Amino acid sequence: MSRTSFNPRDGEAIYYDGRSPVGSGGRLHLDANAIFFSPLDKSKPTQQIPLADIAELSKIAGGFRIETRKRGEDEVPVQIEFGDPVLFERIQRALDELHSSCRKRFLRRLDRSSIVGKLAFAAAAIAIMGFTLVRGVEYSHHFLPVSVDEALGQRVYPRVVKQFTVCTNKPLEDALGSMLQSLTDSSDRFTHKLTIVQSPIQNAMALPGGDIFVFSGLLAASESPEEIYGILAHEVAHVELRHSLRTFLRTSGLFFASSLVVGAGFDGAEAVELIAEFSNTLLALKYSRGYEREADILAAKKLNKQKVSLDGLIAFFKRNQIILKKDSGWNTVLRFLSSHPMSSERMEYLEKLSSGQKSEASLKSIGISALHWDAIKRGCVN
């Protein structure tokens, strides 16, 4: 007897006793609290299965399947396959009444909802959990001591130093040192250490915990000490706002959230994982723009406190169209993308920030005149 499909109308069923793959044909019907299988072979007895003994009722290709609960260690569950959709629905309803815990009801509703309903539920759940995880994990930085930033910085520092040639030049170090000192006060949680890198690149970056790298190309290209002062203020702000640690936490949250969802329950979804990783990286980049703005705002406050205007910083940007970047140290793709030219949007809000400030635009107060700066700024250029 080899059959290819069930006939939905005739109420026929096949009974598999779990001891042999040879099934026996028969009829299935439902009573108030049990199902009955009567074999076509009249010499065999009718099997009665109480509804409470049904472990599973599922849709299979071309029909439906019932599996009984396994009661003893050596007892084998029985399976009955049938094709009648009306019978299926009646058994399903009877079972629903039997198992009506809150969790089961919810899972049942989800299972039986339309594809649109499932997708909408998934979209909502993913959006809420994604947002909560990313924000929640980032928020946890409030509970982490500043020593975490320092430890992170200490791990990255030797790797960064290895990539570059460090320059020692007393006048420059003194000047930058006193700039840094005037930018920090007793409320600062981090101690800043300055490293001048001998490189034509016009860049500056801050490691978590307070290490700040300034590239000699940036110093040489500056037209006033106020420009560098503004850039240092921006980097100090990155450190103070713990942007490296927060980027790390945020991306960890994002990667965890996406690892939950991507290919959920399916083996061998590597291609999808690859796409997810790439879009995560792009998302992380979007966050880093928000951090830039935060750092600019705090830098403006710091400059204002010292009565130095933002004009130096703005002038430098206008001339060079660069973006100051904090080194996240983890992702080269991110680094590549973030070193692209700054947006006009940033320029706009920088100018807005600057217009509200009263300042004298001079660093004479800490002993650095424009003349002195011009004399020393090329100290680390070969």
Output the smallest distance, CB 325 to Zn ion, in A: 6
Residue 29 pairs in a beta bridge with 36
Residue 61 interacting with other proteins (CB under 8 A): yes
Instruction: Select the binding partner of residue 21 from other proteins, Zn ion, none (C-beta < 5 to 8 A, by kind).
Output: other proteins
Closer Cβ to other proteins, 61 or 102, answer by number? 61
Residue 48 pairs in a beta bridge with 36
Near other proteins by CB under 8 A: residue from 161, 194, 269, 298: 269
Instruction: Select the binding partner of residue 40 from other proteins, Zn ion, none (C-beta < 5 to 8 A, by kind).
Output: none
Output the smallest distance, CB 297 to Zn ion, in A: 12
Near other proteins by CB under 8 A: residue from 46, 50, 62, 105: 62
Residue 344 interacting with other proteins (CB under 8 A): no
Which residues contact Zn ion by CB under 5 A? 292, 295, 324
Near other proteins by CB under 8 A: residue from 259, 306, 320, 359: 259
Residue 1 interacting with other proteins (CB under 8 A): yes
Region near other proteins per CB under 8 A, out of 12-20, 182-190, 210-218, 295-303: 12-20
Output the smallest distance, CB 326 to Zn ion, in A: 5
Region near other proteins per CB under 8 A, out of 114-122, 168-176, 198-206, 317-325: 114-122
- Residues in the interface with other proteins (CB under 8 A) total 55
List interacting residues with other proteins (CB under 8 A): 1-5, 16-24, 58-62, 65, 67, 76-79, 81, 110-111, 115, 118-119, 121-122, 124-126, 129-130, 252, 257, 259-267, 269, 271-272, 275-276, 279
